[in-house]
Amino acid sequence: MRVAILQMEGTNCEEESYIAFKETGANPEYLHINNLTEGMLESYDMIFIPGGFSAGDYIRAGAVFAARLKAKVWKDIVDFVESGKPVMGVCNGFQVLIELGLLPGTDGISEVPQAALMTNNSNRFECRWVHLKKTKDTMFSRDAPNKIMLPVAHAEGKFFATQDIIKKIEDNGQVVFRYISPDATEPEYPWNPNGSINDIAAIVNSYGNVFGIMPHPERAYFPFHHPDWTRNPRDKGDGYYIFKSLFNQINEAKSR
């Protein structure tokens, strides 16, 4: 399982993501956008876009990264998605997927963004642990427990779209994780840390192979990543199960 971890100026969490994929059994490789050429992505089994502040989040978060990808390898990315191979974006990577028009993907790939990850309702950078409820089994979530705990670190994470797009997302069953409170009730701030509509924390496209998530699974891969790890022992960190879901799915598909 070859994973292309895309990089550019301002991305971060590449190393945590690399370690998570490596520990799961995949073969991750860093791939800087400056070195991307046509046809290069074809040999990979997955594209991963990490978090960070690509290009300083100028214009909009993820907008410059998306524009550069479109200018260099847009046809290759479209072919990659339409072939059914998985694409995953975390935090800033989620923002890039929105800007590319790959998400929300209610009716396939869009030429223009159909949603946004806006400034948090708190109007501040939110860095905290949140609780998530799994609402759909996908190639990215099928091995995850129904409730997990992951950290967020973003200033622009409020998922927003028109009522029509939100309805399509819900009707299609594209929401993968929602923010919940610790007692699994309707989350208010800070449990929904950004004010996302319908408490949306992660979605998948209508094909099921493009996944965007605001919380960071790579920062919760090992049990000792969790702030309560001495009080609540775990065999694995909660983020591990997202990487494991992917690894199992891709390997099963390749063995058929």
Q: Is residue 115's pLDDT more than 80? A: yes
Active site residues: 91, 216, 218
**Mean pLDDT score, 244-250:** 91
Q: What is the pLDDT of residues 26-50, one digit of tens each?
A: 999 999 999 999 999 999 999 999 9
Q: Is residue 256's pLDDT more than 80? A: no
Percent of the residues in the chain that have a pLDDT greater than 70, as a whole number: 100
The pLDDT of residue 251 is 82
Q: Is residue 233's pLDDT more than 80? A: yes
pLDDT band of residue 228 (cuts 50, 70, 90) is very high
pLDDT band of residue 241 (cuts 50, 70, 90) is very high
The least confident of 4-18, 47-61, 190-204 is 47-61
Give dist(CA 219, CA 17) in Å, integer.
8
Give dist(CA 164, CA 180) in Å, integer.
24
Extended strands (E) in 184-226: 200-204, 210-213
Residue 43 makes CB contacts below 8 A (sequence gap 6+) with 2
Of 13, 98, 95, 112, give the one whose Cα is nearest residue 61.
95
The pLDDT of residue 146 is 97
Q: Which single residue is written with the structure tokens 């993501």? A: 17
Give residue 165's Cα distance to chain centre.
19
Q: What is the pLDDT of residues 210-223, one digit of tens each?
A: 999 999 999 999 99
Q: What is the pLDDT of residues 56-74, one digit of tens each?
A: 888 888 899 999 999 999 9
Residue 252 makes CB contacts below 8 A (sequence gap 6+) with none
**Mean pLDDT score, 94-105:** 97
Cross-strand pairs, 126: 154
pLDDT band of residue 252 (cuts 50, 70, 90) is confident
Of 158, 136, 129, give the one whose Cα is nearest residue 217.
129
In the chain the domains, ranked by start, together with CATH numbers, are: 2-118+155-175+203-255 (3.40.50.880)
Q: Is residue 201's pLDDT more than 80? A: yes
Of 120, 93, 119, give the one whose Cα is nearest residue 202.
93
The pLDDT of residue 174 is 98
Q: Does residue 235 sit in helix, strand or coil?
A: coil
The pLDDT of residue 254 is 75
- C-alpha dihedral sign at 99, 105, 110, 113: negative
Give dist(CA 105, CA 226) in Å, integer.
32
